Amino acid sequence: MVEILKPSQQKILEALARYKFLTSSQMIRLGISKRRSNLSVMLKPLKETKRAFIGEMQFAFIPTKGRLENFYYLKNKGKRILLDSGMEETEIRIPKGRTVMFTQDYFHRKYTIDCHIACDLSAVQHGVKVLFFDRYFDKTGNNRISKNLQAKTKVATDLDYIIADGSLLIESEHGSKLYALELYNDKNTKRILRQLDKHLEGIKSATLCRNYGIEKAHRLLAIFTHSETKKAVMAKFEDKRLGKYVFFNDYERVVEDFFEGWGNETRQTNIKQ
């Protein structure tokens, strides 16, 4: 029996294939629906059938934050619909095996997906192609042997490695540019500076750019949910020789326009240039 979905429901499946996990507010941001009530009507038949197209993760009430939004994700039946409609398997992100709740990682993961969405939406406005945007919870390797799985965003250095929150390749009239991305939603300045030092080692090692056949060294995008923490980190970031490869921005500004507002001690820039 051929499953027939409404165009809006097909869009939900396609969005989940691209972003792997989405909340209702993120779907609204993507233009799937303008109202949460309408979106709930679209989601209901997708998640409540005997063999559901999508899954739903519910999270606890947090006194300081209120009730957290549920996350949705593709299930195998939804994946088959997308394959039947012509989507390539490599284009579909779906949790592998048993879905793991990520309560401790909730906000960091949500903000990272927000940045991915902002990149896609801003790319249309700026005439930029997003060739790929991988996140730290996207894995590569043999799923049957969990120890062989590793993050797609892993950046090797001469001495160690670091798993970036994101890695992305964009293409514009200025050529192709490769970026690693870190999103900081805490206020631990010392920890952040230590991590930035490791990223500088990764830039010197040039492992990430060699992995993707890019001749120029990659840049690092550091995004902060606390503006004061960003200012404190920038004030103590003293590596002048490699500092030109690291750009800072505020999360709130990034979700408005992913490509504008980046800067370091020497200059402000649009990162597509």
pLDDT tens sequence across 83-123: 999 999 999 999 876 555 677 889 999 999 999 999 999 99
In one letter, which amino acid is 74? L
| Alpha carbon distance 227, 175 (integer Å) | 31
Q: Which helix (H) or strand (E) holds 134?
A: strand 129-135
Q: Strand 268-269 to strand 262-263: parallel, antiparallel, or no bridges (unpaired)?
A: antiparallel
Q: Can you read off the two tokens belonging to residue 79?
A: 């994946």
Cα atoms in the Cβ-side hemisphere of radius 13 Å centred on 237: 29
Q: What is the pLDDT of residues 174-210, one digit of tens each?
A: 888 999 999 999 999 999 999 998 888 888 888 888 8
Looking at the DSSP assignment, which residues form a beta bridge with residue 156? 161
- The CATH number corresponding to 108-269 among 3.40.1350.10, 3.50.50.60, 3.30.565.10, 3.40.50.880 equals 3.40.1350.10
Hey, how many other C-beta atoms are within 10 angstroms of the C-beta on 121? 16
Biggest CA-to-CA distance, the chain = 63
Residue 147 pLDDT level (bands cut at 50, 70, 90): low
Looking at the DSSP assignment, which residues form a beta bridge with residue 224? 184, 250
Domain residue spans in the chain? 7-101, 108-269
**Selection from 58, 29, 54 nearest residue 43 by Cα:** 54
- The CATH number corresponding to 7-101 among 1.10.10.920, 3.40.50.1820, 1.10.10.10, 1.20.1630.10 equals 1.10.10.10
The DSSP symbol for 22 reads B
pLDDT for 1:
45
The DSSP symbol for 240 reads T
